[in-house]
Amino acid sequence: MKRQMPSTKEIEREIQDRVKSMFRKDFEEATKEEIYRACAEVVNDVVIDNWLTTQKEFNKQDPKCVYYMSMEFLIGRLLGNNMINMRGYTEVMDALDALGIDINEIEDQEPDPALGNGGLGRLAACFLDSLATLRYPAYGCGIRYHYGMFKQKIEDGYQKEVPDDWLQTRYPFELERPEYEFEVKFGGWVRYESQPDGTTKYIHEGYNSVIATPYDMPVTGFDNGMVNTLMIWDAKPKEVFRLASFERGDYNKAVEDMNLARNLTEVLYPNDNHVQGKELRLKQQYFFVSASLQRALNKYFRYHHDIMKLPEKVVFQMNDTHPTLTVAELMRLLMDEHGLGWDDAWEVTTHCVAYTNHTIMAEALEKWPEEIFKGLLPRIYMIVEEINRRFCEEIRAKFPGDEQRIHRMAILADGQVKMAHMAIAASFSVNGVAALHTEILKNVSLHDFYEMYPEKFNNKTNGITQRRFLMHGNYKLSDWVISKIGRSWITDLSNMEKLENYLDDKKSLDEFMEIKLENKKRLAKYIWDHNKVNVDPNSIFDVQVKRLHEYKRQLLNILHVMYLYNQIKENPDMDFYPTTFIFGAKASAGYENAKLIIKLINNVAAVINNDKSIDNKLKVVFIEDYRVSNAEWIFAAADVSEQISTASKEASGTGNMKFMLNGAVTIGTMDGANVEMYNELDGENIFIFGMSSDEVIAHEKNHDYNPVDEMNNNPHIQKVLGQLINGYYSIDNPELFRPIYNSLLNTQCTERADMYFVLKDFASYCEAHEKIQAAYKDRETWAKMALSNVAHVGKFSSDRTIQEYVDDIWHLDKLELK
Ligand code: 26M
């Protein structure tokens, strides 16, 4: 039976009781943090009952389930999320209110679990939410990083990285499961033993090993009693006590094992769309893959004996190439531990694994030096060699004589192990994350593979969960939508189209704009508290929040701001609607260009915000430490959503959808899922600019783009670029931004000057902004545009995405819950 949250009165009493039993304090004496912990336990009580029920039904119904394999799960805070899904948010809010406490302050006590970088990790979290809400049996499999994504401090305009010690105090929504520990082995060598039956036994010796311990986190569905599990693995040394008592023969190995365990799960690599090829990263990958597969097979064998039927019960979805070792490790377990021959093992494996590609950026493709790979995973390497040998034979059979093609497609080539190639060779499904992205994979980046296996390729356009990004982040708009069209959109976002009936209703449009204003005031206060910048909630809030990357073109945005500032200075009486440009972005710790762009944004902000002469027409704000928790407030307050990547580079984008859901209007390129937003909007109420992906790809191929021409033909660009190197935004050090200037114009500095066509798209971007200015001036026009975005957001729910994965790839049945 589904257990529900108690009544407001009961919750109020329970919170007080918990504070007493947990901290031996009366409620009045408790700190905010203690109240948060008490609330968490009140909610946990309900969650745990539903978790138990779900798992019992799981065992009874024995459904097929998906294991979502991901190095990242950017789940964000769980208290608010779980209260919403358990349908107890208002009750807890009222109970706390009665006790004189603001629920926001309590939620704010929770560390923001930041076990991910950005898009890919947040997508995994949205998928888990949708899977549970749609009652599909699923496990998330990942790593329990002790330090998640770093916290960002801005000092003198520069990014400083501060460790994110989210486990400093006990996290209330995780449960250690020592009963599901497994050993994971690294290094050593492989000995062969011929068996009397003619087969060969492979014996792994001389290895280091660690124990993998899972911590389970509940993943609650919305109002349905379903609770799935996210297992994140931690490492501990095998034989601590023996080490301590000197009993173990090989003291050195014991010390090594200890250090291995200490390092393995210590920290998330803070890279986004860029690989470094560090051995520790490969260790992390094998560690969580091996542990997850062992647990999955362990579960399978509890109720089944025929391993050949594994694909009927289990599917492993690989979130990018990071978990590609799933292929070889499953082969190893099936052959070495469960006695299958190669052909049977391959048959099972290739019906159990599927791969999602998230990027076409060349620098994000994972390739491991063969020497590192072989040294760390000797048995796995042998298996990869055999997979490669057979794969190359298959290519040769299909394309006789085309040795170049074999070289391009091989898993082992140029002294490297190419993870994407292995993922595609073994997967029964290969998908991109937006229509355009999938077409580019098929026709350009993975064209060879598409010719080989056209039937494997499919598209699954990304989505987001409306429970977190509207109900929780923007309860005012959420309540308003409920008052207009009811609650069905909460689990079926296509119902948002019912809002079309209000697009011509002045009163509704007014209410809608009033809510946006309230949300802007909430953000303005946040900005004042955190940045000490005063922003006018009546100005246009124009927002770009996402990871900092050159292809995402934050630089285009800030150059445009510099241009606007010049215009306003030159024509003080020009017609201009006051605008606040808001940025939020973390740069990878070693990405110098990206970090300098952050400094530029902050210096431009300092100059503009302190110039009294422009009469507050322009403000620039860089929000420190952009993360899931403040993102929810930022989306809710945005008027304009900046989605301005170089066409073809942003696989999908998901921030674009979160803004749309919250009634912001997009300025964007025809890239990623922007294209599909444009289609859903019938080409209206969205501001498109810039080159198409075809044009970009053609320029890249023909090497015929010269940014110097763009500068020479446009005096505005000339002026802005001049200001990058004349000290205008850096009086003490005029050379400070020279590297940015060079990256745009100087061919010697990068592979190609202006790699991301910033100057090429500049004029068209300015024009699009002028159209936004014109549209915003008429409040009703704007309200209609913004509300129309909400009305057409239906497609972009992760519920829709998950249903497509289920129908086309996973073939799961819903769990029945009474
Ligand atoms: C790789 C190696 C070492 C360390 C880190 C990495 C790595 C980590 C994350 C590489 C890429 C990572 O993420 C890529 C990513 O976030 N891609 C985004 O995925 C989203 C969800 O599909 C899309 O919406 C975005 O367009 C895409 O950029």
Residue 249: pLDDT band (50, 70, 90) is: low
Instruction: Determine the average pLDDT of the residues in 248-271.
Output: 90
Nearest residue to 441 (alpha-carbon basis) of 459, 423, 422 = 459
265 and 384 both lie in a single domain: yes
**Is 316 domain-assigned?**
yes
> Which residues touch 29 (CB under 8 Å, ≥6 apart)?
none
CA distance 83 to 220: 10
Nearest CA to ligand 1 atom 3: 275
98 and 127 both lie in a single domain: no
431's enclosing H/E stretch is: strand 430-432
Is the distance from CB of 738 to CB of 727 less than 8 angstroms? Answer: no
Query: Of all atoms in ligand 1, which is nearest to the CA of residue 364?
Result: 10
pLDDT for the residue 245? 52
Nearest CA to ligand 1 atom 2: 275
Burial class for 121, CB neighbours closer than 10 Å (0-12, 13-18, 19+): buried
Average confidence score pLDDT of the chain = 97
Q: Which of 359, 419, 438, 591 to mutate to test the pocket of ligand 1 (most atoms within 8 A of CB)?
A: 359
Percentage of residues of the chain with pLDDT beyond 70 = 98
User: Which residues approach ligand 1 with their CB closer than 6 A?
Assistant: 117-120, 123, 269, 271-273, 275-276, 281, 358-359, 364, 433, 462, 650-654, 672
What is the CB neighbour count within 10 angstroms for residue 255? Answer: 12
- Tell me: pLDDT of 247 over 70: no
Nearest residue to 324 (alpha-carbon basis) of 354, 299, 348 = 354
CA distance 115 to 113: 6
**Is 816 domain-assigned?**
no
What distance in angstroms lies between residue 523's CA and the mean position of ligand 1's atoms?
28
- Cβ contacts of 387-394, under 8 Å, gap ≥ 24: 387/327, 387/328, 387/331, 387/411, 387/422, 387/425, 387/426, 388/412, 388/422, 391/421, 391/425, 394/452
- Tell me: pLDDT of 82 over 60: yes
The tokens describing 519, both together, are 């949300």
pLDDT for the residue 114? 94
The tokens describing 12, both together, are 């109020």
CA distance 270 to 287: 18
What pLDDT, in 10s, does the model give residues 91-135?
999 999 999 999 999 999 999 999 999 999 999 999 999 999 999
Tokens 């910048």: give the residue: 533
95 and 187 both lie in a single domain: no
What pLDDT, in 10s, does the model give residues 292-323?
999 999 999 999 999 999 999 999 999 999 99
Helices (H) and strands (E) in the chain, counts: 33, 23
What distance in angstroms lies between residue 515's CA and the mean position of ligand 1's atoms?
34
3-state secondary structure of 143: strand
- Tell me: pLDDT of 528 over 60: yes
What's the total number of domains in the chain? 3
Residue 751: pLDDT band (50, 70, 90) is: confident
What distance in angstroms lies between residue 97's CA and the mean position of ligand 1's atoms?
41
> Which residues touch 218 (CB under 8 Å, ≥6 apart)?
47, 48, 51, 82, 173, 227, 228, 229, 230
The tokens describing 34, both together, are 């203690």
**Is 359 domain-assigned?**
yes
**Is 130 domain-assigned?**
yes
Q: Determine the distance from the C-alpha atom of residue 486 to the mean position of all C-alpha atoms in its chain, rounded to a whole number.
A: 30
CA distance 678 to 665: 11
Q: Establish whether 546 is a catalytic residue.
A: yes
pLDDT for the residue 241? 54
Residue 248: pLDDT band (50, 70, 90) is: low
**Is 756 domain-assigned?**
no
Tokens 């050090």: give the residue: 733
Query: Of all atoms in ligand 1, which is nearest to the CA of residue 274?
Result: 10
Read off φ and ψ for residue 249, nearest 5 degrees.
-60, -55
Percentage of residues of the chain with pLDDT beyond 90 = 95
Task: Report the CATH number at residue 387.
Answer: 3.40.50.2000
Handedness of CA 22, 27, 28, 32 (dihedral sign): positive
3-state secondary structure of 413: strand
- Tell me: pLDDT of 233 over 70: yes
Q: Domain boundary at 437, 460, 483, which?
A: 460
57 and 165 both lie in a single domain: no
Q: Establish whether 769 is a catalytic residue.
A: no
What distance in angstroms lies between residue 601's CA and the mean position of ligand 1's atoms?
24
Annotated catalytic residue, options 283, 658, 760, 769: 658
Q: Domain boundary at 420, 442, 460, which?
A: 460
Q: Which amino acid is at 760?
A: K
Nearest CA to ligand 1 atom 8: 272
pLDDT for the residue 771? 98
What distance in angstroms lies between residue 122's CA and the mean position of ligand 1's atoms?
10
- Tell me: pLDDT of 360 over 70: yes
Is the distance from CB of 333 to CB of 293 less than 8 angstroms? Answer: yes
CA distance 361 to 662: 29
CA distance 331 to 1: 40
Residue 570: pLDDT band (50, 70, 90) is: very high
Burial class for 202, CB neighbours closer than 10 Å (0-12, 13-18, 19+): middle
CA distance 534 to 610: 11
473 and 436 both lie in a single domain: no
Q: Establish whether 552 is a catalytic residue.
A: yes
254 and 145 both lie in a single domain: yes
Q: What DSSP letter does each residue of 746-805 carry, written as one string?
A: -TTTSSSTTTT-HHHHHHHHHHHHHHHHHHHHSHHHHHHHHHHHHHT-GGGBHHHHHHHH
Q: Which amino acid is at 601?
A: I
Nearest CA to ligand 1 atom 5: 271
The tokens describing 643, both together, are 């989605």
- Tell me: pLDDT of 634 over 80: yes
The DSSP 8-state label assigned to residue 249 in this structure reads S
**Is 501 domain-assigned?**
yes
pLDDT for the residue 778? 96
Is the distance from CB of 129 to CB of 275 less than 8 angstroms? Answer: no
Query: Of all atoms in ligand 1, which is nearest to the CA of residue 122?
Result: 21
What distance in angstroms lies between residue 120's CA and the mean position of ligand 1's atoms?
5
> Which residues touch 251 (CB under 8 Å, ≥6 apart)?
243
pLDDT for the residue 243? 57
327 and 354 both lie in a single domain: yes
Residue 18 sits in which domain range?
A: 1-61+86-110
Nearest CA to ligand 1 atom 12: 272
pLDDT for the residue 86? 97
pTM, two decimals, is: 0.98
Instruction: Determine the average pLDDT of the residues in 368-375.
Output: 98
What distance in angstroms lies between residue 121's CA and the mean position of ligand 1's atoms?
8
- Tell me: pLDDT of 750 over 90: no
What pLDDT, in 10s, does the model give residues 94-104?
999 999 999 99
Q: Establish whether 716 is a catalytic residue.
A: no
Q: For every residue of 338-381, which 3-state class applies, written as one string?
A: CCCCHHHHHHHHHHHEEEECCCCCHHHCCEEEHHHHHHHCHHHH
Q: Which of 357, 358, 436, 445 to mutate to test the pocket of ligand 1 (most atoms within 8 A of CB)?
A: 358
Query: Of all atoms in ligand 1, which is nearest to the CA of residue 645?
Result: 26
125 and 157 both lie in a single domain: yes
What pLDDT, in 10s, does the model give residues 159-177?
999 999 999 999 999 999 9
43 and 126 both lie in a single domain: no
Per-residue b or e along 171-187, where b marks 16 or more CB atoms closer than 10 Å to that residue's CB: bbbbeeeeebbbebbbb
Is the distance from CB of 671 to CB of 643 less than 8 angstroms? Answer: yes
Query: Of all atoms in ligand 1, which is nearest to the CA of residue 462?
Result: 22
pLDDT for the residue 545? 98
Query: Of all atoms in ligand 1, which is nearest to the CA of residue 356?
Result: 22
Q: Which of 267, 272, 648 to mutate to test the pocket of ligand 1 (most atoms within 8 A of CB)?
A: 272
What distance in angstroms lies between residue 652's CA and the mean position of ligand 1's atoms?
11
CA distance 771 to 488: 35
Q: 779-791 and 506-531 helices cross at what angle (nearest 10)? A: 90
pLDDT for the residue 273? 86
Query: Of all atoms in ligand 1, which is nearest to the CA of residue 672?
Result: 26
Nearest CA to ligand 1 atom 7: 272
425 and 538 both lie in a single domain: no
Nearest CA to ligand 1 atom 25: 653
Q: Which amino acid is at 539?
A: S
Annotated catalytic residue, options 146, 283, 418, 547: 547
Annotated catalytic residue, options 472, 552, 586, 795: 552
530 and 429 both lie in a single domain: no
Annotated catalytic residue, options 295, 332, 358, 456: 358
Strand-strand pairing, 353-356 and 314-319: parallel
- Cβ contacts of 452-455, under 8 Å, gap ≥ 24: 452/394, 452/395, 452/398, 452/409, 453/424
271 and 341 both lie in a single domain: yes
pLDDT for the residue 2? 86
Annotated catalytic residue, options 321, 324, 359, 654: 654
3-state secondary structure of 114: coil
**Is 415 domain-assigned?**
yes
What distance in angstroms lies between residue 485's CA and the mean position of ligand 1's atoms?
36
> Which residues touch 97 (CB under 8 Å, ≥6 apart)?
103
**Is 732 domain-assigned?**
no
What distance in angstroms lies between residue 92's CA and the mean position of ligand 1's atoms?
36
